[in-house]
Amino acid sequence: MITLKNISKKHGTKTVLANVNTTIEQGDFIVIVGTNGSGKTTLFDLIAGAQAPTDGTITLDNTNITATDAKARGRWMGRLLQNPEHNTVGTMTVAQNLALALFAKQSATLADALKIVTPDIINDIQKDYDVDLKPLLHTLMKSLSGGQRQLIAFIMATLTQPRLLLLDEPTAALDPQSATTLLACAHRFIHQHHMTALLITHDPQIALTLGNKLWLVKDGTVTIFDQEAKKALEPHDLIGSIDYAKITA
């Protein structure tokens, strides 16, 4: 599906990624881990078209898309950022945000889109995602909790079934209960729809629990672990662990 060949990225004299070669196959659910500054988000930006590689090529179904920008790739790609406020329009209701997501790639006005978001459409969405949206439909997005807002944002990012879904640390700002709800919904939806997805996380347990592949980004390179290789890993093998002895010393 998507192939990164000899991808390198420099910011000034600093090399962030060096000669990365990897492929995202149709139906992959890849979890990406690495320490802060290792290049995880830069890797996402390159795949999304938000940044251009310094060297190398990116292909989609054997077509070179290296020079294709984020707007063009957005027609077939969805992305969920870690800050819930960046994924939705806070001054609009949940229903209005859903309408925007459903018709973002069409030339429909918001008023026309809202007319098409009928009770039947809402019922279909609720069944597909196993969530109860009706009590929230007329609530302003900014009035929701971070967990509720991020869950709605996930629904918005996947309503039109993108070919590739990028989840950029979506639970970083959430409490454990909200993170569990979001990840359970995402895991179920991705598998039911055989969606191709990449998830960045700092939680090594999430990395070892979810996905069929693991990418470890370190020192500008990407090390790939398949499902079988993941079984031999422990959480501390990925990004280390907190040294509590040093905290209390």
Query: Which helix (H) or strand (E) is 230 found in, with range?
Result: helix 227-230
d(CA 199, CA 167): 5
Give DSSP secondary structure letters for 6-54: EEEEEETTEEEEEEEEEEE-TT-EEEEE--TTSSHHHHHHHHHTSS--S
Domain boundary assignment for the chain: 2-88+146-248
| Residue entry with tokens 């569990």 | 180
pLDDT tens digits, one per residue of 116-141: 778 888 899 999 999 999 999 999 99
Q: How high is the mean pLDDT of the chain?
A: 91
> Rounded to 5 degrees, what are φ and ψ at 227?
-55, -40
Residue-wise over 113-137: b if at least 16 C-beta within 10 A, else e?
A: bbeebeeeebeebeeebebebeebe
Instruction: Tell me the average pLDDT across 79-107.
Output: 86
**Assigned CATH class of 2-88+146-248:** alpha beta
Whether 160 shows a pLDDT value over 80: the answer reads yes
- Residue 194 — pLDDT band, cuts 50, 70, 90? very high
Q: Are 162 and 102 in contact (CB under 8 A)?
A: no
